[in-house]
């Protein structure tokens, strides 16, 4: 039997890797991918707590399902914004997108 | 073939429990390795493939947590839809990273420091907390039970999710539509 803390450690490691990616990536698509890693780390934690709880009613799994649905919706809109930005300014590197900066 | 392999290992004194543990830690290690590739690789197309492998590893971890339905949904939605969308977007926005290197080393160092500090705080909290051991009679959640609670107890969030999906589809079409001259 694998202890609960090892699943949580896996989630924590994935979360930290995702944070590192969000902070270092210059490509907007790369930042969206790192956000996917963070959301997956949160899902691992939700399902772990759902399995190891005293009263297993599957609430954590339902919550993880909603997280996956919202992640899909946000990714679709984010990628659309990336395409729109590329069409207007011919770049998706976030340090070159300075339309609203003075 | 798989059961024959397990039988062979059992004959050599390796129990079923050890095999399950070994495969879990192997899958977790591969997942973390490819997650690191996702944030470190230069070529953005390779990053999309590494992300697909990472997500498949996470789906395997869901199987260890008795969440078979979540594992299937993960493979269908993430690998089937989201990674495909990422690859389409990468192809539509060909932009090679040719910016100056100046200032990036400092940023990588500061980011590594921040994420490592966060990781150590999380590890400390997880290790110090006294987690309860799961009760032996804890039955896994089966699919009919999951569907029932989704349709009865959580019907309102379910409907809200479908509205959000519709809004995202329409919004994506409106934003991504090419402007007519």
The CATH number that applies at residue A19 is 1.10.287.3510
Give me the pLDDT at residue B35, please. Answer: 95
The pLDDT score that the predictor gives to residue A28 is: 87
Q: Is there a contact between A43 and B70 if contact means CB atoms under 8 Å apart?
A: yes
CB-based burial, A59-82: b 16+ in 10 Å, e otherwise: bbbbbbbbebbebbbbbbbbbbbb
Q: Which of residues 10-69 of B touch A (CB under 8 A)?
A: 17, 20-21, 24, 28, 31-32, 35-36, 38-39, 44, 47-48, 51, 54-55, 58, 61-62, 64-67, 69
DSSP A62-85: HHHHHHHHHHHHHHHHHHHHHHHH
Contact list in B for residue A32 (CB cut-off 8 A) is: 86
Within a domain: A28: yes
Cβ neighbors of B108 (< 8 A, separation 6 or more) are A24
Predicted confidence at residue B157, as pLDDT, reads 92
Contacts of B20 in chain A (CB under 8 A): 2
Q: Does B115 touch chain A (CB under 8 A)?
A: yes
Question: What is the model's pTM?
Answer: 0.88
> Is the residue at A99 inside a domain?
no
Please give the pLDDT value at position B1.
Answer: 59
What residue numbers bound the domain in which A62 lies?
4-93
Domain membership flag for residue A102: no
Which of A92, A60, A82 has the alpha carbon at shortest distance from B172? A82
> Does a structural domain hold residue A101?
no
Task: Please tell me the distance in Å from B105's CA to the nearest CA on chain A.
Answer: 10
Q: Is residue A71 part of a domain?
A: yes
Please tell me the predicted confidence (pLDDT) of residue B181.
Answer: 55
b/e sequence B93-132, b meaning 16+ C-beta within 10 Å: bebeeeeeeeeeeeeeeebeeebeeebeebbeebeeeeee
User: Which residue is associated with the tokens 């963070």?
Assistant: A38
pLDDT at B19: 87
pLDDT of residue A57: 76
Q: Which residue of B has its CA nearest to A64?
A: B70
Q: Is A8 inside any structural domain?
A: yes
Residues in chain B with pLDDT values less than 50? 99
The three-state secondary structure class of A27 is strand
Chain A residues lying within 8 Å of B69, measured CB to CB: 61
Q: Do A2 and B24 touch (CB under 8 A)?
A: yes
Is there a contact between B78 and B48 (Cβ–Cβ < 8 Å)?
no
State mean pLDDT over A19-48.
92
Mean pLDDT of chain A: 88
- ipTM value: 0.91
Count of structural domains within chain A: 1
Count of all residues that appear for chain B in the document:
181
B25, two tokens: 């830690």
CB atoms within 10 A of CB A14: 28
Asked if residue A66 is part of any domain, the answer here is yes
The answer to whether B176 contacts chain A (CB < 8 Å) is yes
| CB–CB contact A66 B161 (8 Å) | yes
Which pLDDT does position B97 carry in this prediction? 57
Domain assignment of residue A13, yes or no: yes
Q: Report the pLDDT value the prediction gives residue B139, as an integer from 0 to 100.
A: 67
A50 touches B: beta carbon within 8 Å: yes
């Amino acid at each position: 039997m694998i202890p609960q803390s090892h699943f949580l450690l896996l989630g924590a490691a994935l979360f930290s890797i995702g944070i590192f990616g969000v902070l270092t990536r210059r490509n907007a698509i790369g930042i969206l991918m790192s956000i996917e890693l963070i959301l997956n780390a949160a899902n691992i934690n939700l399902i772990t707590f759902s399995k190891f709880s005293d009263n297993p009613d599957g609430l954590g799994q339902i919550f993880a399902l909603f997280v996956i649905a919202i992640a899909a919706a946000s990714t679709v809109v984010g990628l659309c914004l990336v395409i729109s930005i590329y069409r207007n300014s011919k770049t998706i590197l976030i340090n070159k997108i300075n339309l609203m900066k003075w | 073939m798989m059961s024959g392999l397990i039988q062979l290992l059992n004959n050599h004194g390796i129990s079923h429990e050890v095999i399950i543990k070994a495969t879990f830690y192997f899958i977790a290690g591969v997942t973390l390795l490819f997650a690191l590739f996702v944030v470190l690789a230069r070529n953005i197309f390779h990053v999309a493939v590494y992300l697909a492998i990472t997500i498949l590893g996470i789906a395997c971890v869901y199987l260890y947590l008795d969440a078979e339905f979540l594992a299937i949904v993960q493979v269908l939605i993430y690998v089937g839809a989201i990674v495909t969308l990422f690859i389409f977007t990468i192809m539509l926005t060909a932009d090679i990273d040719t910016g100056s290197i100046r200032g990036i080393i400092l940023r990588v160092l500061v980011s590594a420091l921040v994420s490592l500090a966060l990781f150590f705080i999380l590890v400390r909290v997880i290790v110090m907390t006294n987690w309860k051991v799961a009760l032996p009679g804890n039955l896994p959640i089966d699919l009919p039970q999951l569907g029932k609670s989704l349709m009865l107890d959580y019907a309102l969030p379910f409907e809200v999710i479908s509205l959000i999906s519709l809004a995202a589809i329409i919004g994506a079409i409106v934003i991504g539509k090419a402007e007519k001259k």
